[in-house]
Amino acid sequence: MTRRFLPRMVEENQGHIINMGSTAGIYAYAGAAVYAATKAAVKFLSDGIRIDTIEKNIKVSTIQPGIVETDFSQVRFHGDKERADTVYKIISSMLAVKKWSMLEKLLFIMKNKAIVLTFTEMVMESPAT
Instruction: Please identify which of the residues 27, 29, 35, 99 carries the catalytic annotation.
Output: 35
Residue 27 known to be catalytic = no
Instruction: Please identify which of the residues 29, 39, 56, 88 carries the catalytic annotation.
Output: 39
Angle at 82 between CA 78 and CA 88, to 5 degrees: 100
Residue 35 known to be catalytic = yes
DSSP 27-56: S--TT-HHHHHHHHHHHHHHHHHHHHTTTT
Helix/strand/coil percent split, the chain, to 5: 50, 10, 40
User: Which residues are known catalytic residues?
Assistant: 35, 39
